[in-house]
Chains A and B, each alone.
Chain A
Amino acid sequence: MNIPKNLGPEEVAIKPAPRPARSLRLKNTLVGWSFVCIASLLIGIFYFYPMVQALILSFQSGTGVHLSFVGFENYVRLFQDPVFLTTVKNTVIYLIIQVPVMILLALFLSVVLNNKTLKWKGFFRTAIFLPCVTSLVAYSVVFKYLFAPDGIVNMMLLKINLVAEPIQWLTDPFWAKITIILAITWRWTGYNMIFYLSALQNVDRSIYEAAKIDGASAVQQFFKITIPMLKPIILFTSITSTIGTLQLFDEVMNITAGGPGNATMTISQYIYNLSFKYTPDFGYAATVSYGIVFLIVIFSIIQFKAAGDKK
C-alpha cells in the first residue's frame, strides 16, 4: 500500500468521502484521545497532583493533621537543618564516588566481553548480570550479614592477612558508606554493562582495526574510541544512575538503617523518618522532598551540559 508514513488514519479515511469529513475527523480525534486518556489521567492523579499538594504542604507546618501556613519558614529551616545537610552530603558522596566507579567498571567489562575470541562469554555475561534479579531488600539483608563484624568478608580478609583486626563495616561512619557503595555497585554494574555491550555491538570493528594498525594501545583505544562512541548511552546510564542514587532508600534502610548516627542516611530516608518514624511533620517532609527534585534537575542538567560540551 502506498500510504505516506506521516499521514494519520483520519487523513486516509477522509479522502474518498469529503463531505462527512468534519464529523469523521472529530470522531477520530475522540477515538485517539480515548486511547490515551486513562493513562494521562492516572499520571495526573498519582504524579502531578501530589507534587502540587507537596508544594502547598511545604509552606505548612505542624504535627500530623494539624497544619498551619508558615510561609517560607520550612525552607529557611531546610538550610539550617544539620540532619538535612548531612543527608545531602551522604547522598552526593554516594553519587560522585559510586556512579563513576560503576560506569567505568561496567565499560571495562563490556569491552573485555565484546572480544570475539573470548571463551565462556555467555557464562561471564550471565554471572555478572545475575545480581539484577535480586530484590533490593533481599540483597541488602544479605550484604548486611556478609559485612557484619564477624561476617564472611572480615573472616576472609583476616585469613589472607589483609587486615589485622576486623573492619567495622557497618558501625564506622567511613566504612559504612563504603559498604553501601560496594553493595550498590554489586547490584547495578551488570545492569549497566548490558547496555554498553549492546551498544558496542553496533560499533564498526574496522575502526579498532584501523587504530591497531596506527599503533594505538588497548588503553588508548578505550579512551579514544570506545568512550566517545558510547557517549549517548553513557549519558543515559549516568542520568538513570544519578536519579536512582538520589532516591536511594531500600539499601540504606536495610543495611545500616542510616547509622551510625546519621552517617549513611539518605534524603529519601530522612523524608520517610520525618513523616512516619518521628512525630509526623508532613509539611517539612514535603519541603525536603522538593530538595530531592531540585537536586535531580540540577544533576541532570550538569550531565547534559558535560556531555554536550565535549562534542
Chain B
Amino acid sequence: MKRPNKVIGYLFLSICAIISIFPFYWMVVSMTNTSADVTRGKLLPGGHFIENFKNLLQTVDLVPALSNSALIAVGTTVLSLLIASLAGYGFEIYRSRAKDVVFNILLLSMMIPFAALMVPLFRMFGSITPMLPFIGIDTLSAVVLPTITTAFLIFFFRQSTKMFPKEILEAGRMDGLKELGIFFRIYVPTMKTTYAAAAIITFMASWNNYLWPLVVLQSPEKQTIPLLISTLGSSYSPDYGMIMMAIVIATLPTAIIFFFMQKHFVAGMMGSVK
C-alpha cells in the first residue's frame, strides 16, 4: 500500500476504535465518580466506587434481578440447545422430503418480528394463567417458554451437522447403540464447539432480552437486569455514578464471555452464513 493511503488507513481505524471504546471507558470511569463529577464531565477515575456500589444495593434489588436474569438465561440456554440440536440433527441425519418442507416452514418464522408476536403471546399467557399459574403472566417460565426455540438455532445446528462424519453413526449402530444413544454419546461430545457457539449466542440474547420480559413480568421482585437498568435510566434525578455501576455489572457477564471465548463468540455470530 502507498504511504499516504496507509496513514489514512491508520487514522480511520484509530478514530473508529476510539469512538468504539470511549463509551466503555466513560462508563467504567463514571462508576468511580460522584454524580456531580460525571455531570461536570470528569474523565478520570475517582474514589467513589464503594459509595456507588453501596448506593446501588440500597436503591434497587440488584441481587434478585441478577439471579432472575441468570436463572432465565441459563434455563433458556440449556433448553434451547437441547431442543434445537435434536431438531437440527434430526432434519439432517433423517433427511426426507417431508422433513425438508417442515424445515422450510420453520425458517419462515425468522421473518416474524417479535413486536407482532407480543400481543397474541401476552393474551395466550394471560388465558392460561388461571389454570397454570406457574407458567402464566409474571413468572420466569413465561419469559423462557416462547424464546427457547428459534429457527435460527435449528438452522445453525443443521448446518454444522452437515460436516459431521456420518460413518461414526453407523459404527455406533453396529455397537448396538439406540438412535438417541448415538445422539447423546457420539454426536453431542463431538460437536462441542458448535454447542459452545450456540450457548454463547443464546445466553447473550436471553441475558439482554428486554421487550418480552417488560411485557410479561409485572411485580418488582421478578425484574430482570435490563428492566432494572431501564427503570434506573428513566429516573428524573439520576445518580449517574450509581447507574454506571449497574450498567457495568450488567455488561460484565457478556464481556467476560467475549474475552475468554472470543473464537466461539465470533463463530456463534457468524453461524448463519457458513
Q: Which positions in A face B, CB cutoff 8 Å?
A: 1, 3, 5, 8-10, 12-13, 28-29, 31-36, 38-40, 42-43, 46-51, 53-54, 57, 105, 108-109, 112-113, 115, 117-118, 123-124, 126-146, 150, 152, 155, 186, 189-191, 194-195, 198, 218, 233, 236, 243, 246-247, 249-250, 253-254, 257, 267-268, 271-272, 275-276, 282, 285-286, 289-290, 292-293, 296-297, 300
Q: Which of B21, B84, B113, B123 has a CB less than 8 Å from the CB of A268? A: B113
Q: Does B114 contact A (CB under 8 A)?
A: yes
For residue A218, which residue of chain B has the nearest CB? B5
CB distance B23 to A143 under 8 Å? Answer: yes
Task: Check B211 against A250 for contact (C-beta < 8 Å).
Answer: yes
Least distance between B41 CB and chain A CB atoms (Å): 5
Pairwise interchain contact A243-B208, C-beta atoms closer than 8 A:
no
- Pairwise interchain contact B115-A272, C-beta atoms closer than 8 A: yes
Assembled-state Cα–Cα distance A29/B96 (Å): 9
Judge whether A33 and B226 touch: CB under 8 Å: no
CB of B86 within 8 A of CB of A35, answer: yes
Interface secondary structure of B, over-half rule: helix
Contact partner, A186, options B23, B41, B166, B254, Cβ 8 Å: B23
The answer to whether B166 and A3 have CB atoms under 8 Å apart is: yes
| Smallest beta-carbon distance A115→chain B, Å | 6
Where the two chains meet, the residues of B that have a C-beta atom closer than 8 Å to any C-beta of A are 1, 5, 9, 12-14, 16-17, 19-21, 23-24, 26-27, 38-39, 41, 43, 83-84, 86-87, 89-91, 93-96, 99, 102-103, 106, 109, 111-124, 145-146, 148-149, 151, 154, 166-167, 169-170, 173, 179, 183, 207-208, 210-211, 214-215, 225-226, 229-230, 232-234, 238, 240, 243-244, 247, 250-251, 254-255, 257-258, 262, 266, 269-270, 272-273
Residues of B within 8 A of A271 (CB): 115-116, 118-119
Q: Are A289 and B269 in contact (CB under 8 A)?
A: no
Whether A282 contacts B116 by the Cβ 8 Å rule is no
A141 and B119 within 8 A (CB)? no
Establish whether residues A112 and B12, one from each chain, have CB atoms under 8 Å apart when the complex forms.
yes
Alpha-carbon separation in the docked complex, A132 to B238 (Å): 26
Across the A-B interface, give the 8 residue pairs with the lowest CB-CB distance, nearest first: A35-B90, A32-B94, A289-B116, A39-B87, A141-B233, A135-B208, A50-B120, A268-B115
B208 and A39 contact, CB distance less than 8 A: no
From A42, A195, A282, B83 is in contact (CB under 8 Å) with A42
Contacts of A300 in B (CB 8 A): 111
Besides A133-B258, A155-B41, A247-B114, 8 more A-B contacts (Cβ < 8 Å) are A1-B167, A1-B170, A9-B169, A129-B20, A135-B251, A138-B226, A289-B119, A300-B111
